[in-house]
Amino acid sequence: MSSAVVPAPDSGAVATPWSRVQRLLPLGFSLLITLAAAPLAIFITQQIGEIGEYGILAYPILFVVQALVSATIFLPAPGVAVAAAAGTVLDPLWAGIVAGLGSATGELIGYLLGYYGRRAVPTDTSRLWRLAERGFRRWGFIALIVLASIPNPVFDALGILAGSLRYPLGRFWLATAAGKILKFLSITYLSSFVSIWLLVK
């Protein structure tokens, strides 16, 4: 009996046009949400009027608006203005917490964009990429909290980086939520104090 070794079949899947489309579909879906979220957030904020008129429903509305605002990657949206307005008519503590949770949820769009964008264009073989991944896993949680707690346009890029580096989704959302809550608490309390001061004056 021959002892020749039979070569194993190639385990790599043959790329087909449909498989490429399947890999790009989530990326396209994330971009579509991004493009749709900005005008939708602006439309809702223009239609809701005085948010305090909605009673207990004001908090879910605030959550949805902030989620939509944060889903607008690199596009301006009135998130801070909505939170400031909410702080003048709602409990600033709960308004800040709800706004922060909604904003952190909206930032998942940037994370998913980075996650599936890397899938469409793999970069695992890059040594620099592997170094960035190790650094982000070590310091990413703190960096996310700090940068989420201050108004800045680079957080969208950080979310995309976190997704592309496969940073754990739960840790990304938790750190982002902590930073966003701190940011929006400062905004809601400041607007509340200013409104009270103006009334007293």
Give the pLDDT mean for 53-81. 80
Task: Classify 169 as helix, strand or coil.
Answer: helix
Q: How confident is the model at residue 29 (pLDDT cuts 50, 70, 90)?
A: low
Confidence of residue 5 (pLDDT cuts 50, 70, 90): very low
Least confident of 28-32, 93-97, 134-138: 28-32
Question: Quick one: pLDDT at residue 122?
Answer: 52
User: Is there a contact between 62 and 86 (Cβ–Cβ < 8 Å)?
Assistant: yes
Stronger pLDDT, 106 or 153, i.e. the higher one:
106
Q: Which of 35, 38, 44 is CA-nearest to residue 85?
A: 44
pLDDT at 14 over 60: no
Q: What is the 3-state secondary structure (H, E, C) of 57-115?
A: HHHHHHHHHHHHHHCCCCCCCCHHHHHHHHHHHCCHHHHHHHHHHHHHHHCHHHHHHHH
The C-alpha atoms of residue 113 and residue 164 are separated, in whole angstroms, by 8
Calpha distance 92→29 (Å, rounded) = 35
What pLDDT score does 7 carry?
46
> How much is the pTM?
0.74
| CA distances from residue 9 to 6, 115, 137 in whole angstroms, order as listed | 9, 30, 36
